[in-house]
Amino acid sequence: MSKHRRKPHLKEEQREFGFGNKLTDATTRLINKDGSFNVVRNNKILGRYYLDPYHRFITMRWRKFFLIFLLFFFGINGAFAIVYTLLGSEQFQGVSSAGYFSNFWDMYFFSTQTFTTVGYGHIAPIGWLASMIASLESVVGWLSFAIATGLLYGRFARPQARILYSKHAIVSPYKDGMGLMFRIANARNSQLIEVETEVILSLIDKGNGNETPRRKYYNLKLELNRISLLSLSWTVVHSITDSSPLYGITLQDLKDCDAEFWVMIKAFDDTFAQVVYQRTSYSCDEITWGAKFKPMYSPIIGSSKIALELDKISEVEKVDLPELIFEVEEEERGVSDL
C-alpha cells in the first residue's frame, strides 16, 4: 500500500470563523460539545470572569436556576429576620417572648410575608425603625419577583433547539469506499423543518517544516446537507473520496494536526415559529473507526406509529473497513505529510 498523503490544492474555506489561522498552539477543542466557544474572557479591570447576569441566568440549567432562586429567597429572608430579631420584640406586635430562637422564627416568617406582600397580619411592626426596614424589604421583594418573572419568561420564550447528537462520529464503509458519519435526532416533540447541516474541518497545517504552521478550515461536502423534515433520525454522511480533505488520512494524522470537526445546524422550529441554530464538535478522540450505527426506530407492533428510541442514538457495531490503496500521483511527490 502506498503512503497516505493529502491531495494537494484542496479548496480551503475562505470564510472567517472567528478563530483566525494563527491559533496553532492550542491542543484542545475550539468549540465545546454543547456548542459554546472554548474561550475564557479575561479583563484586568473587571476581573477574570466578567459578570453578565442576564446571560448567565438565561442559559444556565433549570436545576441550577431554581436552586439559586431558592437560595436567594431563603437567604434574603434569613438576613432580614436576623435584623428584625436584633431590633427586639418591642418593635413588633404579636411576637411571643419565648426566647431568642423562637423570636427568630417568628421574624423569619414575618419577613417572608413582607417579602411576598402576603401579610397575614399576625405580626406587625409598631416601631419606626422596624417599619422602615419592613418597607425596604417590600420594595426588595417587588423588584426580586419582577426580575424572576422576566427571567422565567425569557427562558421559556427563547427559541432553542434540542437536538441530540451521537456521542462519536464514525468512519464506516460507504459505497465503494468510506464515509465520515454522525447521527442526529430531535429530542423534542416539536417539528423541525428545512433542516440544514454544515460540517467544517479545522486543523493545523504544519507545512514542510520551513513554513509557519497555520490553522486551516475545510468545508466537508455532505451527501445530503438539507432535509425537509427531521421526523426520525438523520445520519449525516461525508463521503471520503479523492477530493476529500480526509482522503488517505489516518487517525494518527488527525491527532497530529489537532483536527476538530464542527457541526452547525439550522432549522425552522414551528413551536417558536423561528429559525433555531445549534452547534457541536467532534475532536479526533471522538472518532470511531470501523463502525456503523444500529437502527434506532421501528414500527410499534399493533399500532400505526413508529417508535424512535433516542437512547440508541450512539449505539454502533464494529465493521471491517475496506482495504483502499491511495495512489500517489506525480504532482503529489514532495508534498509534506500532515
What are the tens digits of pLDDT across the range 13-36?
A: 566 777 777 766 666 788 888 888
What single-letter DSSP state applies at residue 117? T
pLDDT of residue 327 exceeding 50, the answer is no
Angstrom distance (rounded) from CA 135 to CA 89: 18
Residue 98 is predicted with a pLDDT of 66
**Domains of the chain by residue range:** 53-157, 163-332
What is the third-level CATH fold of 163-332? Immunoglobulin-like (2.60.40)
Residue 35 is predicted with a pLDDT of 84
Mean pLDDT for the chain? 84
What are the tens digits of pLDDT across the range 168-227?
A: 999 999 988 899 999 999 998 889 999 999 999 998 887 776 677 888 889 999 999 999
pLDDT of residue 328 exceeding 60, the answer is no
pLDDT of residue 97 exceeding 70, the answer is no
Residue 2 is predicted with a pLDDT of 38
What class is the 53-157 domain? mainly alpha
What are the tens digits of pLDDT across the range 259-295?
A: 999 999 999 998 888 999 999 999 988 999 999 999 9
Neighbours of 126 (CB within 10 A): 11
Least confident of 75-79, 109-113, 162-166, 251-255: 251-255
| Contact criterion met (CB below 8 Å) for 232 and 295 | no
Residue 44 is predicted with a pLDDT of 64
Residue 159 is predicted with a pLDDT of 84
Residue 329 is predicted with a pLDDT of 39
Q: Which contacts qualify for 148-153: CB closer than 8 Å, 24 or more apart? A: 148/69, 151/54, 151/57, 151/58, 151/65
pLDDT of residue 12 exceeding 80, the answer is no
Total-model pTM = 0.76
Angstrom distance (rounded) from CA 110 to CA 246: 68
pLDDT band at 338 (very low <50, low <70, confident <90, very high): very low
pLDDT of residue 1 exceeding 80, the answer is no
pLDDT of residue 135 exceeding 80, the answer is yes
Residue 334, burial from CB neighbour count under 10 angstroms (0-12, 13-18, 19+):
exposed
Fold agreement between 53-157 and 163-332: no
